[in-house]
Amino acid sequence: MGQNLKGRSFLALKDFTKLEIDYLLQLADNLKAKKRAGIRGELLVGKNIALIFEKTSTRTRCAFTVAANDEGGFPEFLGKNDIQLGKKESVADTARVLGRMFDGIQFRGFSHKTVEVLAKYAGVPVWNGLTDLYHPTQILADFLTLQENFGCLTGLKLVYVGDGRNNMANSLMIGSAIMGINLTIAAPEQLWPAREIKKLAQKKAVESGAKITITADPAAGVQNADAIYTDVWVSMGEEAQFAERIKLLKPYQVNKKLVEQANNPELIFLHCLPAYHNLETKTSKMIAEKYGLTAMEVTDEVFESDYSKVFEQAENRMHTIKAVMTATL
């Protein structure tokens, strides 16, 4: 089942085949078993890895760092104030400098164009840790979690509820279409996916047999779901839109009633995190005081339930990112 991905960048799932994604998931599963057995790896020995972060991060930063360390690599964190990326120096020039010093580059930031330019000029593999358009390393972790819970991906019904035009919805559409997962996006019409993303997903779905559905009705959308997935209602950089998003998305909150409408005792809940499910963060308290909500996209009852697999997902970021780095380096 081996696939030769050496030297490839990992910018979006649309650039990879079902076989290649299957390979990365199998490799991640093997690397996870190796780590659980306490076996130190050597697949990245001598490799220096640049981690560029325009946006803050918990899971992405820690997953890349620990994954590199586990296999003998040397990660170097480069925050937005540490380098001249796009300020005193063009992205292309920065790429050509870093590519001569590092063996691989991770980028997490805003514009997808930035990661594309890095990949074009660096001369080494570049990995997308998140852009406004796509979040492919998250989707690999999601798919590994689904695979661990259901044994396969093909034919599963995955329902994404909430903001249907953010990077998570985009990536889930493309990834599900490639892998043969039946994806339903339940979102208000104002937040439906962009036409070009939908068109690309439909094209991929024809090849895999997947069914891609977009609806404004969350109750109808979740019926017979194997997994319900949600994300924050306001993405990084959109904080000024809290009031508008809450008004639009309040009917799309994942709560016990919505879960029961799926009518599937084997259902699991997924979230890419962080989640506003209680009043334990500064932002959550602000939302409660200003808008009267004790939870936003998911209630605490669902988030803390036995069928919630969000922390398995979070751990799987590390194993799938390790697979991406070792396969491409």
116 phi, psi to nearest 5 deg = -65, -40
Q: What are 223's two structure tokens? A: 């019926």
What is the pTM assigned to this prediction? 0.96
Check residue 283 and give its pLDDT.
85
Question: Which residues define the annotated binding site for carbamoyl phosphate?
Answer: 57-60, 84, 108, 135-138, 272-273, 317
Under 8 Å between Cβ of 24 and 320: yes
CA–CA dist 37, 24 (Å, integer): 20
CA–CA dist 196, 182 (Å, integer): 19
Reported as a single tens digit per residue, the pLDDT across 76-115 is 999 999 998 888 999 999 999 999 999 999 999 999 999 9
CA–CA dist 213, 262 (Å, integer): 16
- Say whether the peptide bond before residue 188 is cis (omega within 30 degrees of 0): no
Check residue 241 and give its pLDDT.
85
Residues 218-236, mean pLDDT to the nearest whole number? 95
Domains 13-134+316-328 and 157-225+227-263+268-306 share a fold: yes
Reported as a single tens digit per residue, the pLDDT across 107-145 is 999 999 999 999 999 999 999 999 999 999 999 999 999
Reported as a single tens digit per residue, the pLDDT across 156-199 is 999 999 999 999 999 999 999 999 999 999 999 999 999 999 99
Is the predicted pLDDT of residue 1 greater than 70, yes or no?
no
Topology annotation, domain 13-134+316-328 = Rossmann fold (3.40.50)
Check residue 2 and give its pLDDT.
67
Amino acid at the residue 79? G
228: which strand partners? 159, 269
Q: In whole angstroms, how far apart are CA 151 and each of 51, 143, 145? A: 33, 11, 10
Check residue 235 and give its pLDDT.
82
Reported as a single tens digit per residue, the pLDDT across 234-275 is 887 788 888 899 999 999 999 999 999 999 999 999 999 999
CA–CA dist 63, 15 (Å, integer): 22
Q: Which CATH number fits domain 157-225+227-263+268-306: 3.40.50.12280, 3.40.190.170, 3.10.20.30, 3.40.50.1370?
A: 3.40.50.1370
N-terminal to C-terminal alpha carbon distance within the chain: 18
- The structure tokens 């950089």 sit at 237
Under 8 Å between Cβ of 170 and 145: no
Please name the residues in contact with 151: beta carbons below 8 A apart, sequence gap of 6 or more: none
Check residue 239 and give its pLDDT.
80
CA–CA dist 228, 317 (Å, integer): 19
Could you tell me which of 301, 257, 299 has the C-alpha nearest to residue 277?
299
- Which residues are known to be catalytic? 108, 135, 138, 231, 272, 317
Helices 310-328 & 59-70 angle (0-180, nearest 10)? 50
CA–CA dist 12, 116 (Å, integer): 10
Amino acid at the residue 44? L
Q: Residue 278 burial (CB < 10 Å; 0-12/13-18/19+)?
A: middle
Sheet holding 268-271: strands in order across? Answer: 212-215, 182-186, 157-161, 227-230, 268-271
Question: Which residues define the annotated binding site?
Answer: 57-60, 84, 108, 135-138, 167, 231, 235-236, 272-273, 317
DSSP-based helix, strand, coil % in the chain, nearest 5: 50, 15, 35
189 phi, psi to nearest 5 deg = -55, -30
Check residue 21 and give its pLDDT.
98
Under 8 Å between Cβ of 75 and 62: no
The domain ranges of the chain are: 13-134+316-328, 157-225+227-263+268-306
Question: Which residues define the annotated binding site for L-ornithine?
Answer: 167, 231, 235-236
Q: How far is CA 16 from the centre of its chain?
A: 16
Under 8 Å between Cβ of 217 and 186: yes
Check residue 237 and give its pLDDT.
77
